């Protein structure tokens, strides 16, 4: 049988990794797909000296790949929302299947893209958009299809996890580790997407849609980054038996769906709390299966290429099948998506870590306890440190039981108004994941 012809758009870190893996493992891949997969065209703006593309035709115009009648599958690896959206929609309109690693594109424009793909009867595959090399989309969409999913919680940004791990283990500074993550090709073109949680929110939006059968709603995701975390809080969390991780949490409740990305204390003995460096891990809790954990490299050249090439194999296997009988893009049949609302962060529920800087006076603890109890906030534990030499303030660290964010915000406002409390109260959410 003739090989399937693929056009790779973008020959950066992931594009060159994809080219190299397709070439190196061509025989093994053809045995799996049932046909060869041939890169018939590459679109690249700048030459990539790290990738020997041999005699493969090269163009600088990505849209020329979408318009090339020879090409069966367009692989979109240029990133961003604008040209990438045009490219993908053009490829779909021309009846081509699409494979993309672009989480921003899927999270923001996925509803439109999948609607067009259905009209044209083509596949849009996007495994590499979430958690790099971990096949978590396939697991959630197919392997766990028997379950009602209760929650998904993941470390889904490799750069952020790499930064937090290096800071905690080696005492390195934030800019120093970020520069290394950029050099290693982990970070986004705009690294604020990594450290402010936007990249993780894109991925969580995709996971939540597939887990709960809801449309993609990136605009409703709550996003808080890691840039304001201090080494003091990392140390206090350790002393209490926790690790701080940048976690994406999607939870189904009777009121709606929680969709939030933020620094989170996790008990240090959980497997996911021990996921370090650029590694990602996603926990999925289903009513039948219980808790599962998917672990692997969340970024990087060949781990991400692994997911892109697996999608290509899937496309080749399914391209001759009846479009109605393929796995739906978002796991649930498109006419069966739910309108269960995504909750605002004020309506979400979590346990909390609080750090209060207090003057060393009698009765401060009693005032703090009274403010919390007046709002029904149950204290789980309290740790009070010695007064700090430079300012005489006492760091008071509290862990609370679960409470809605609205009540916690009210309590923090009241705590900050106390004469004996100095500065802002530090608040980090806590998830036990059990």
Using CB under 6 A as the binding rule, whether residue 158 contacts ligand HSE is answered as yes
Which range of residues in 15-23, 88-96, 182-190, 283-291 is near ligand HSE by CB under 6 A?
Answer: 182-190
Q: How far is the CB of 305 from ligand HSE (least distance, A)?
A: 12
Q: How far is the CB of 414 from ligand HSE (least distance, A)?
A: 38
Closer of 88 and 206 to ligand HSE (Cβ): 206
Closer of 159 and 350 to ligand HSE (Cβ): 159
Among 166, 194, 233, 431, binds ligand HSE (CB under 6 A): 194
Q: How far is the CB of 186 from ligand HSE (least distance, A)?
A: 5
Which range of residues in 38-46, 68-76, 185-193, 289-297 is near ligand HSE by CB under 6 A?
Answer: 185-193
**Residue 255: CB partners within 8 Å, gap ≥ 6?**
343, 347
Using CB under 6 A as the binding rule, whether residue 157 contacts ligand HSE is answered as yes
Closer of 7 and 298 to ligand HSE (Cβ): 298
Which range of residues in 111-119, 157-165, 286-294, 306-314 is near ligand HSE by CB under 6 A?
Answer: 157-165
Residues that contact ligand HSE, how many (by CB under 6 A): 11
Using CB under 6 A as the binding rule, whether residue 187 contacts ligand HSE is answered as yes
Using CB under 6 A as the binding rule, whether residue 53 contacts ligand HSE is answered as no
Closer of 39 and 164 to ligand HSE (Cβ): 164
Q: Whats the size of the chain, residue-wise?
A: 434
Q: How far is the CB of 231 from ligand HSE (least distance, A)?
A: 22
Closer of 20 and 120 to ligand HSE (Cβ): 20
Q: How far is CA 395 from the centre of its chain?
A: 33
Q: How far is CA 217 from the centre of its chain?
A: 14
Site string for ligand HSE, 275-304 (x = CB under 6 A): -----------------------xx-----
Using CB under 6 A as the binding rule, whether residue 405 contacts ligand HSE is answered as no
Using CB under 6 A as the binding rule, whether residue 186 contacts ligand HSE is answered as yes
Tokens (6 digits) for 148: 């009602």
Q: How far is the CB of 158 from ligand HSE (least distance, A)?
A: 4
Q: Catalytic positions, please?
A: 203
Q: How far is the CB of 331 from ligand HSE (least distance, A)?
A: 20
Tokens (6 digits) for 406: 């609205």
- Chain contacts with ligand HSE (rule: CB under 6 A): 132, 157-159, 186-188, 194, 199, 298-299
């Amino acid at each position: 049988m003739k090989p399937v012809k693929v056009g790779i758009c973008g020959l950066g870190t992931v594009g060159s990794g994809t080219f190299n893996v397709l070439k190196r493992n061509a025989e093994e891949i053809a045995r799996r797909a049932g046909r060869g997969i041939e890169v018939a065209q590459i679109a690249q703006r700048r030459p990539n000296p790290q990738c020997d593309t041999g005699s493969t035709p090269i163009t600088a115009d990505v849209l020329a790949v979408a318009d090339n009648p020879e090409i069966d599958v367009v692989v979109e690896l240029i990133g961003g929302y604008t040209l990438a959206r045009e490219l993908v929609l053009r490829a779909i309109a021309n009846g081509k299947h699409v494979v993309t690693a672009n989480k921003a594109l899927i999270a923001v424009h996925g509803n439109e893209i999948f609607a067009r793909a259905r009209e044209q009867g083509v596949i849009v595959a996007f495994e590499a958009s979430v958690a790099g090399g971990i096949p978590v989309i396939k697991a959630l969409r197919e392997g766990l299809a028997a379950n009602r999913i209760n929650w998904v919680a993941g470390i889904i940004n490799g750069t952020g996890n790499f930064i937090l791990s290096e800071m905690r283990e080696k005492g390195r500074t934030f800019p120093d580790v970020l520069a290394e993550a950029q050099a290693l090709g982990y970070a986004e073109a705009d690294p604020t997407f990594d450290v402010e949680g936007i990249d993780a929110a894109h991925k969580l939006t995709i996971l939540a849609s597939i887990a709960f059968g809801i449309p993609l709603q990136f605009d409703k995701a709550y996003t808080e980054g890691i840039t304001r975390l201090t080494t003091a809080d990392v140390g206090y969390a350790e002393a209490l038996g926790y690790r701080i991780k940048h976690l994406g949490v999607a939870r189904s409740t009777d009121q709606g769906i929680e969709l939030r990305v933020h620094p989170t204390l996790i008990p240090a003995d959980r497997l996911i709390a021990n996921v370090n460096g650029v590694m990602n891990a996603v926990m999925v809790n289903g009513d039948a299966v219980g808790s599962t954990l998917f672990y692997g490299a969340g970024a990087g050249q060949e781990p991400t290429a692994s997911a892109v090439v697996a999608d290509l194999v899937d496309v080749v296997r399914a391209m001759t099948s009846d479009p109605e009988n393929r796995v739906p893009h978002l796991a649930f049949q498109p006419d069966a998506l739910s309108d269960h609302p995504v909750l605002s962060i004020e309506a979400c529920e979590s346990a909390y870590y609080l750090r209060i800087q207090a003057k060393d006076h009698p009765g401060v603890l009693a005032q703090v306890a009274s403010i919390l109890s007046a709002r029904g906030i149950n204290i789980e534990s309290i740790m009070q440190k010695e007064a700090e030499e430079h300012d005489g303030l006492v760091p008071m660290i509290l862990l609370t039981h679960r409470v809605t964010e609205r009540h916690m915000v009210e309590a923090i406002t009241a705590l900050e108004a106390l004469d004996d409390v100095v500065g802002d109260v530090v608040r980090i959410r806590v998830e036990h994941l059990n």
